[in-house]
Amino acid sequence: MSFDQVNSGPRETGALHLIPAVRIPSDALDVEVLNAFEELQSDDGSDLIIELIDLYLQDAPPQILAIGKASGSAEWAQLKRAAHNLKGSSSTLGVRHVAEICEKLEAANCLDPSDGVEALIQLLEYKFAKARQALAAERQRRLV
Amino acid sequence: METFRVKFKQAIPNRVLIADDDPVMRHLVTTTVKQQDCEVVVVNVGREAYRILQSDSQFRAAILDMTMPFLEGLDLIRYMRSEKRLMRIPIMMITAEQDIKLMASSFSAGATAFLPKPFTPEQLQSAIRMLIGNRKWTKRAA
């Protein structure tokens, strides 16, 4: 089983314990940007970074689905709104590639097929999958 | 007999209204506001913030996302600045928009502060401290 398979698999498989406790370099996630939010940590025993990762991983997939659905039905305003929403949290948490693609989607001329909206959406799905692995690894590292 | 009229200064409310449809942003802003010993009233759509503001003006500050479903942050600012009981409440806009014209529109509508995304924890803390006028230092700054 590859590292990617381990990290992208559901938690109930029990495979996540294979993730090493050391930080895995990933260009999908700027870990320094994410972990800078440690300074907002409260004293109640919770881990703000884990909470942020969980919220992001819950919120991002429906946004990506909404982007794909809006593209299929040519609802460009909705596509740009979903891309805009995803860009904000992605850039703040250091999920760079996702944020960059969302920015391109926001700026794209959706009425021009040559502007590559479909290709951008495919790339977004791929880059988000990579980011999810990096976030899951960082989450697990913090639990150890 | 001489009579005295004593006028008590109205206490500043300790609640902050937060309206943002992004759960990550809501959590970050809520956490930071709570660290300043303020209570929070949190909503995820502009329309709900509008509904609350119609009957409740006891807020120390409002932190609004620019882009929300149904009713946007800019519309909320305009509403708050048109109501005498809400006029004094400082408002901060948060947005991922890079357009400088939107910043200008926010200030001309009556925003007190503007925080563009992405922001660092320091920028978020500074903006919130400035907004609520709280000089309490955070753990790192102490």
Q: Does the pLDDT of residue A4 top 80, yes or no?
A: no
Q: Does the pLDDT of residue B140 top 90, yes or no?
A: no
Cβ contacts of A41 on chain B, cutoff 8 Å: 139
Q: Distance (Å, rounded) from C-alpha B65 to C-alpha A132?
A: 25
Q: Which residue(s) pair with B40 in the sheet? A: B16
Which has more pLDDT, A27 or A131?
A131
Close Cβ partners of B26 (under 8 Å, ≥ 6 residues apart): B18, B20, B42, B44
Hey, are the CB atoms on B118 and A92 less than 8 Å from each other?
Answer: yes
Hey, are the CB atoms on B35 and A51 less than 8 Å from each other?
Answer: no
* Count of structural domains, chain A: 1
Q: In this structure, what token pair is assigned to residue B47?
A: 């329309």
Hey, are the CB atoms on B31 and A40 less than 8 Å from each other?
Answer: yes
For chain B, list the domains and their CATH numbers.
Answer: 15-132 (3.40.50.2300)
User: pLDDT tens-digit profile of B50-101?
Assistant: 999 999 999 999 999 988 877 788 899 999 999 999 999 999 999 888 778 8
CATH of the domain at A64: 1.20.120.160
Cβ contacts of B118 on chain A, cutoff 8 Å: 33, 88, 91-92, 99
Q: In this structure, what token pair is assigned to residue B70?
A: 């149904």
A8 close to B (CB below 8 A): no
Q: What is the mean pLDDT of residues A52-77?
A: 95
pLDDT > 90 fraction of chain A, expressed in percent and rounded: 61
Going by DSSP bridges, is the β-strand pair B61-65/B113-116 parallel, antiparallel, or unpaired? unpaired
User: pLDDT tens-digit profile of A79-119?
Assistant: 999 999 999 999 999 999 999 999 999 988 767 766 689 99
Structural domain boundaries, residue A61: 3-143
